[in-house]
Amino acid sequence: MSRLDGKIALITGGARGQGAAEAERFAAEGATVYISDVLDDAGRATAHRLGDSVTFLHHDVTSEADWEAVVGGIAAAEGRLDILVNNAGILHMARSLDTSLDDWNRVIAINQTGVFLGIREAGRLMKVQGSGSIVNISSVAGLSGVGVAHAYSASKWAVRGMTKSAALEFSRSGVRVNSVHPGIIDTDMMRDSGVPEPAAGVPVGRAGTADEVANVVLFLASDESSYCNGQEFIVDGAMTA
């Protein structure tokens, strides 16, 4: 018996990085996994690498129509959706004084509105099923302020708030909603951030890996976490300790 046997999962932003690592872990634990992303070539390549139980879907998380098509398509094909990982996100390194309204709106649209649409579309289906686990990927930037990433931090605090609100909303429906707060994780996002030596201030002395985040997301996606709801799970090498 594997940890996600028979479960149907959707992971946004799953073409690479943490989302791809989560897809690999989920598939190894018996789930049927849909990864969605705007990076079509990378998404198809990841699905191909991970095998028959992983399918790529084109999906811009800022688009209401895309969400309806993706969740509706999975429901039509599988009859249910057990797990949603709202993982898609972008990093924007800029102080408030250097953030244009266009940049603000882009960060909020992907990191915050995308999560709202996911909670709404998957939540509707899960509520009818009477079960489901939604895992929202926030950040340590959703636990404290980040002077050099104003919009990003705002969006990740919003994810934390939406997680708690949705957990309360769905608490009698068998649907759980939790947030995960990675610290410095070695993915393309961090490599492309322009931050010199991003892991320099991490107490354990290194960046985390995508697999180390995926292990926590797997626990929250599975029934092992059945009494965890509306809470924050921090994966940061003691950064916020």
Binding residues for ligand NAD, rule: CB under 6 A, are: 12-13, 15-19, 37-39, 59-62, 87-91, 110, 137, 139, 182, 184-185, 187-190
> Closest approach of Cβ 100 to ligand NAD, in Å?
18
Cα 193 from Cα 131, distance rounded (Å):
38
Cβ 130 to ligand NAD shortest distance, Å: 28
Please say which residue, 36 or 133, places its beta carbon nearer to ligand NAD: 36
95: left (phi over 0), alpha (psi -120 to 50) or beta: beta
DSSP 8-state assignment for residue 233 = E
Least separation, in Å, of the C-beta of 187 and ligand NAD? 3
Among 152, 157, 170, 233, the one annotated catalytic: 152
Structure tokens belonging to residue 15: 């073409």
Pick the closer one to ligand NAD by CB: 75 or 180: 180
Q: What is the DSSP letter of 230?
A: S
Decide if 58 contacts 38 (C-beta within 8 A).
yes
Check if 227 is active-site: no
7 vs 160 by CB, closer to ligand NAD: 160
Question: Which residue lies nearer to ligand NAD by CB, 9 or 91?
Answer: 91
Strands 83-86 and 232-235: unpaired
Q: How many CA atoms lie within 13 A of 107 on its CB side?
A: 23
Q: Is 194 exposed, middle or buried (0-12, 13-18, 19+ CB in 10 A)?
A: exposed
Closest approach, Cβ 15 to ligand NAD, in A, equals 4
Euclidean distance between CA atoms 222 and 132, whole angstroms: 9
Enzyme catalytic residues: 152
